[in-house]
């Protein structure tokens, strides 16, 4: 090896000065980018981005951390999607709290893993305290939980616990535990895709997830749930869990938790509430009542990297009864022996090596408090209400469905434009906007017809800014329609509006 061969720089006490200089350089460049952001992303064609990455020879290092930081800035940050930009309206990605970003930097440098106490020590205690605070906001008198990588993992973990509970014969009972093929999970068609994916991962048959009928707003009907459970029992199948959603991805609606909990209590079925999106209501000064009944759930998913404005990843599975977490415990002598005195978090988690994501929420709570988080989410919801009113009154837009949170489902369809024409324009409109980079919207399907979607999660974005973005969307749609641009319409009635 010659003297010009670059060496791997490891962060140690001896390289603390190098760490300071390199990271300061990265922070300065990122701050400059943030300060100059005018639109959520660029108009660089996808093919150009692909070619730029492909042209990098990973076998030929740049030779210094400073050079790598410059490349990261110029290759990635210059072309990034910025979720704090007012025109970023497509997905459930939020701008992030400054104290949480600072805590993220600490995590990256210290690099703890909170799977065992001896790897994190006080980190374990901080996570446990944050979890205790979170379960308290739900209304669990003595709950517990664990941080996860996101709502998908939280939902998987909850359904694993429910499966274990359903397949464990009760002490003193003459009834035999049901087989996996007989288990049933009740949800709605609007439930997160991870419910069905989790069922597959847990070894349940494809028929295991039963779609319960919903009302016109997409919310689970408690009467339909009761009938679905009765039907399953008549067929000799065993109810495993009910998944109620507090904030569906598309409609942003909240299932009626109190009557659903009544059904689950009567039928003795595990109730899981997926509040990945709507968890910000837990600290809302004005809308906490929308989650009435959540305290009766047996498990809850909360994505703090959505409506708590935390950097990805920051999610948690929270349970009412701490004993439920033991249903998925696994012990290894070298890691977390059963007779360990220390509180090893891997006893509760599906992950072994696990980030100390709780520190970010801790820093935010200590800097600003839960009320500030709730007020910020309220601002988002207030803006969403006003945008709904604007869309409903707009001559060229159709409001597809109401929301209880911050999504806006709409379709461009002036008088004289047929359903088929409007449907066919949904995908090209999104694609044209994405290629331009000025306003980002999403697309989805509601009641078998495609539509476009805004997801508002930025408390710094005003109603006026969203309306201005919609004006640009309308102009773009009109131009595409005039140019005869159309795409695959999907399922449509083909009738005139």
Sort 75 into a burial class: Cβ within 10 Å, 0-12 / 13-18 / 19+: middle
Closest CA to 306 of 368, 252, 226, 237: 252
Specify whether the CB–CB gap between 319 and 146 falls below 8 A: no
DSSP percent split of the chain into helix, strand, coil, nearest 5: 45, 15, 40
CA dihedral over 222, 224, 230, 232, signed as positive or negative: negative
Predicted confidence at residue 216, as pLDDT, reads: 94
pLDDT digits over 17-52, tens only? 999 999 999 999 999 999 999 999 999 999 999 999
pTM of model > 0.85:
yes
Ranges of the chain with pLDDT below 70: 1-3, 169-176, 487-497
**Half-sphere exposure of residue 65: CA atoms within 13 angstroms, side-chain side:** 16
What is the length of the chain?
A: 497
pLDDT digits over 202-247, tens only? 999 999 999 999 999 999 999 999 999 999 999 999 999 999 999 9
Which 3-state string (H, E, C) describes 143-166?
A: CEEEEECCHHHHHHHHHHHHHHHH
Has domain 113-367 been given CATH number 3.40.710.10?
no
Those residues with Cβ within 8 angstroms of residue 496's Cβ, 6 or more apart along the chain or in another chain: 418, 419
Those residues with Cβ within 8 angstroms of residue 331's Cβ, 6 or more apart along the chain or in another chain: 337, 338, 347
Residue 482: other Cβ atoms inside 10 A: 8
DSSP-assigned letter for residue 215: -
Which residues, listed in sequence order, are joined to residue 273 by a DSSP beta bridge?
244, 300
Specify whether the CB–CB gap between 440 and 88 falls below 8 A: yes
Predicted confidence at residue 171, as pLDDT, reads: 54
C-alpha–C-alpha distance, residues 167 and 240, integer Å: 9
- At 56, phi and psi to the nearest 5? -75, 125
C-alpha–C-alpha distance, residues 201 and 155, integer Å: 12
Consecutive H or E run containing 455: strand 449-455
3-state SS assignment for residue 337: coil
Has domain 83-112+369-497 been given CATH number 3.30.559.10?
no
* Token couple for 83: 């979720």
Start-to-end CA span in the chain (Å): 73
Predicted confidence at residue 336, as pLDDT, reads: 80
* Token couple for 94: 């939020």
C-alpha–C-alpha distance, residues 119 and 114, integer Å: 6
Q: Are strands 183-187 and 144-148 parallel, antiparallel or unpaired?
A: unpaired
Domain ranges across the chain: 13-82, 83-112+369-497, 113-367
C-alpha–C-alpha distance, residues 373 and 283, integer Å: 7
C-alpha–C-alpha distance, residues 81 and 89, integer Å: 11
Q: How far is CA 304 from CA 97, 152, 207, 247, in A?
A: 11, 13, 32, 14
Specify whether the CB–CB gap between 309 and 95 falls below 8 A: yes
Closest CA to 162 of 108, 190, 199: 199
Predicted confidence at residue 446, as pLDDT, reads: 95
Predicted confidence at residue 3, as pLDDT, reads: 53
Predicted confidence at residue 69, as pLDDT, reads: 98
Consecutive H or E run containing 303: strand 299-303
Predicted confidence at residue 494, as pLDDT, reads: 34
CATH of 13-82, one of 1.10.1040.50, 3.50.50.60, 1.10.3470.10, 1.20.1650.10: 1.20.1650.10
């Amino acid at each position: 090896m010659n003297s010009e061969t670059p060496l791997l720089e490891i962060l140690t006490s001896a390289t603390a000065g190098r760490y300071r200089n390199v990271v300061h350089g990265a922070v300065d460049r990122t701050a400059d980018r943030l300060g100059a952001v005018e639109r959520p992303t660029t108009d660089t064609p996808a093919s150009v981005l692909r070619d730029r990455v492909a042209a990098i020879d990973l076998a030929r290092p740049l030779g210094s951390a400073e050079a790598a930081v410059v490349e990261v800035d110029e290759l990635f940050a210059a072309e990034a999607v910025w979720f704090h930009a007012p025109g970023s309206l497509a997905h459930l990605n939020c701008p992030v709290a400054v104290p949480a970003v600072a805590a993220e930097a600490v995590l990256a440098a210290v690099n703890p893993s909170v799977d065992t106490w001896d790897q994190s020590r006080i980190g374990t205690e901080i996570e446990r305290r944050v979890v205790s605070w979170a379960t308290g906001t739900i209304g669990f008198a003595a709950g517990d939980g664990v941080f996860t990588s996101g709502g998908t993992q939280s939902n998987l973990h909850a359904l694993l616990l429910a499966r274990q509970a359903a397949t464990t014969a009760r002490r003193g009972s003459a009834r035999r535990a049901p087989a996996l093929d007989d288990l049933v999970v009740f949800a709605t068609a609007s439930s997160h895709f991870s419910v069905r994916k989790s069922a597959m991962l847990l070894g349940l048959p494809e028929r295991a997830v039963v779609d319960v009928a919903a009302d016109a707003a997409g919310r689970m009907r408690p009467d339909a749930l009761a009938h679905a459970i009765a039907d399953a029992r008549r067929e000799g199948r065993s109810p495993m869990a009910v998944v109620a959603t507090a904030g569906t991805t598309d409609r942003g609606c909240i299932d009626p938790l109190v009557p659903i909990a009544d059904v689950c209590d009567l039928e003795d079925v595990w109730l899981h509430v997926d509040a990945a999106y709507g968890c910000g209501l837990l600290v809302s000064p004005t809308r906490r009542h929308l989650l009435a009944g959540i305290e009766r759930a047996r498990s809850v998913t909360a994505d703090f990297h959505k409506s708590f404005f935390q950097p990805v990843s920051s999610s948690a599975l929270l349970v009412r009864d701490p004993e439920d977490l033991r249903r998925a415990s696994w012990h290894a002598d070298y890691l977390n022996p059963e007779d360990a005195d220390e509180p090893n978090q891997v006893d509760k988690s599906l992950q072994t090596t696990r980030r100390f994501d709780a520190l970010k929420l801790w820093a935010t709570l200590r800097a600003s408090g839960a009320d500030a988080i709730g007020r910020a989410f309220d601002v988002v919801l207030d803006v969403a209400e006003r945008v709904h009113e604007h869309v409903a009154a707009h001559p060229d837009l159709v409001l597809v469905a109401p929301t209880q949170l911050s999504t806006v489902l709409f379709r461009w369809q002036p008088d004289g434009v047929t359903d088929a024409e409007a449907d066919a324009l949904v995908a090209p409109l999104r694609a044209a906007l994405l290629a331009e980079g000025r306003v980002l919207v999403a697309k989805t399907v509601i009641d078998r017809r495609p539509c476009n979607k805004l997801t508002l999660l930025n408390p710094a974005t005003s109603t006026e800014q969203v309306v201005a973005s919609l004006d640009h969307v309308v102009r773009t749609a009109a131009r595409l329609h005039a140019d005869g641009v159309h795409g695959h319409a999907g399922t449509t009635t083909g009738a005139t509006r």
